[in-house]
A and B are shown apart, each in its own frame.
Chain A
């Protein structure tokens, strides 16, 4: 017996003594029968008092949160106090645990990756919001459904049975523009599984862009090389070639090699622009001189076939002359190349650099992708005009390094306006 309970025993002692004394007095006055009767009545009183407290305890235990615990002294009071303390502590623990659980669930709900809990029969037990969107699961209706019946992609059932642990299952989209998901299975518990889904649309797109880029570069280099190789073969085989022919072929070959050189120059420029964060040096650029230079470059490219005007009337610009000259020059040469003979090209500067032409224009669906490498709005014509397909990518990178934004407005058949808007702190009086 715990020693702490000795006072409780002692508290019982006075009552027992009282009953004993009463019984002895009754014996002395009335005889032994009365003594037993008095002792019995006293014991009954004690039992009744105990029973009353026991009933109070039972009543209180039915709804301990609402009713305050019964007021009782002595041993029973101690029991009530201890019980109610224990109950309060339990209630608090349950509250903390359920708060933890619900915040944990909320965190899983908020994850961008889809999570589905599967039991041994591959039935869905629970899933988060992302999984609902990725796999088309609808809770609570689909709880208990077999996941292979809802995700029917061929091969998925096999993967679910034997996940090899390394390669995820790729859920190919049904429609052309739908998103691509990667699925992974992780075993947990006895025979349960977690099915994870990741949205890999962007990663796949980057992958496709990279392989497109390699294919494009190879193609762009291959075409002129094929031409040169053909001529060289011709030179070797045909001994009796006139000097005039020879000169003609040499000129064509020079054209092709210079095209390859300019492509490689552009590629190197792009990779340099990408690898450095900021221009090497910055200076105050006299925009009047810049525009004069651009329009004379443009004149020589156009060869008098276009009407080129330039109008500078703005502040100077802080930046790297060489890079900006190459970016602006690209915009001007694009305008000239995509404007038919007799059209006009206007170069302007008033804090915003703009090139406006009356050329073929670009339709709206091509505009967002125009600055991608080798992106061609019209596959047929742009190679004839001699572009490398990298001009606008260079422009975009140079402008990014100067914190400028490139705006393109265009209407097919009515011409385009390319403008570069610089932040105020780059403009110097």
Chain B
């Protein structure tokens, strides 16, 4: 990126960026295999997602410590400071996304553990999940390339996930009204859908941080970035 007098400083900055992107890669896989396992009912994959969550947590702590050390040792300014600040915020978002993936996996385990398989149609949730994965990919790509356009694109996609979540909610409500025996399963599925919707929100946070690093403008809670619209 930029040239500093100290090559070592450059190296440390790039190192932090590489590490957070690798954590991002791990979280990406967590989300996609959780959603995959949810639609195929693969119990092994669900357990694996739950187990790997610990790895994500320890990465969060390690990268956060790297950020603190770098600020203390190098006293970065301007864009470098913004990058370090953004990374330490992004790391929290990624950890939350990891939690959501583990939650999807745990809920799916519960769902498939009961012998009754009277599931409501799941294709809409799967679609939402694909959107969320794509959005997370876009947000991480924008971080890798420091590309504002990709970041803004990812932020815009959040609206589609929210709309999808509302659709799933309406569908499940009719399903529960038709047959009250399915309320238990439907509620579990709502939790899963909600987790997917939150993945979208966190991905949007990541993209907003990228915009902040590159342009220096904080677009959180502004119309520019698209206020994280909760489902209505």
* Contact surface of A with B, Cβ cutoff 8 Å: 136, 138, 141-142, 145-146, 148-154, 156-157, 172, 174-176
Contacts and interface: CB of A to CB of B under 8 A. Distances in A.
A157 B145 contact: no
A146 B26 CA distance: 17
Contacts of A146: 14, 17-18
A149 B147 CA distance: 13
Centre residue among B17, B32, B36, B144 by max chain A CB count within 10 A: B144
A39 to B, nearest CB: 65
A157 B135 CA distance: 23
B130 A154 contact: no
Interface string B72-84: 0000000000000
Contacts of B26: 154
A122 B36 CA distance: 32
A174 B21 contact: no
Centre residue among A142, A156, A176 by max chain B CB count within 10 A: A176
A107 to B, nearest CB: 29
A152 B145 contact: no
B32 A145 contact: no
B21 A149 contact: yes
Contact of A154 (B25, B140, B141, B147): B25
Contacts of A157: 18, 22
Contacts of A142: 145
A153 B25 contact: yes
Given A145-B144, A153-B25, A157-B22, 5 more contacts: A138-B145, A150-B144, A152-B25, A152-B140, A152-B144
Contact of B28 (A145, A149, A174): A174
Contacts of B140: 152
A157 B140 CA distance: 16
B154 to A, nearest CB: 15
Given A145-B145, A152-B24, A153-B25, A174 B32 contact: yes
Centre residue among A150, A151, A152, A154 by max chain B CB count within 10 A: A152
Interface residues of B, number: 20
B213 interface: no
B44 to A, nearest CB: 15
Contact of B22 (A138, A148, A172): A148
B207 interface: no
B92 interface: no
A174 B22 contact: no
A174 B25 CA distance: 11
A78 B22 CA distance: 67
Contact of A153 (B14, B17, B29, B144): B29
Contacts of A175: 32, 130, 133
Q: Which 10 A-B pairs have the closest CB atoms?
A: A152-B25, A149-B144, A149-B21, A154-B26, A174-B32, A150-B144, A148-B18, A152-B21, A157-B22, A154-B25
B137 interface: yes
Interface string B119-146: 0000000000010010001001100110
A141 B145 contact: yes
Contacts of B25: 151-154, 156
A352 B43 CA distance: 50
A151 B36 CA distance: 21
Contacts of A172: 29
Contacts of A136: 141
Nearest to B26: A154
Contacts of B137: 174
Contacts of A176: 36
Contacts of A153: 25, 29
Contacts of B32: 174-175
B27 to A, nearest CB: 9
A230 B122 CA distance: 40
Contact of B21 (A138, A141, A148): A148
B144 A174 contact: no
A168 to B, nearest CB: 18
Nearest to B24: A152
Contacts of A150: 141, 144-145
A144 to B, nearest CB: 9
Centre residue among A141, A148, A149 by max chain B CB count within 10 A: A149
Centre residue among B21, B24, B25 by max chain A CB count within 10 A: B25
29 contacts: A136-B141, A138-B145, A141-B147, A142-B145, A145-B144, A146-B18, A148-B18, A148-B21, A148-B22, A149-B17, A149-B18, A150-B144, A150-B145, A151-B25, A152-B24, A152-B25, A152-B140, A152-B144, A154-B26, A156-B25, A157-B18, A172-B29, A174-B28, A174-B133, A174-B137, A175-B32, A175-B130, A175-B133, A176-B36
A177 to B, nearest CB: 11
A154 B18 contact: no
Nearest to A123: B14
A141 B17 CA distance: 17
Given A148-B18, A148-B22, A149-B17, A154 B144 contact: no
Contacts of A141: 145, 147
B48 to A, nearest CB: 12
Given A142-B145, A174-B137, A152 B14 contact: no
A287 B21 CA distance: 69
Nearest to B126: A176
Interface in B20-69: 21-22, 24-26, 28-29, 32, 36
Nearest to B140: A152
A157 B28 CA distance: 15
A249 to B, nearest CB: 32
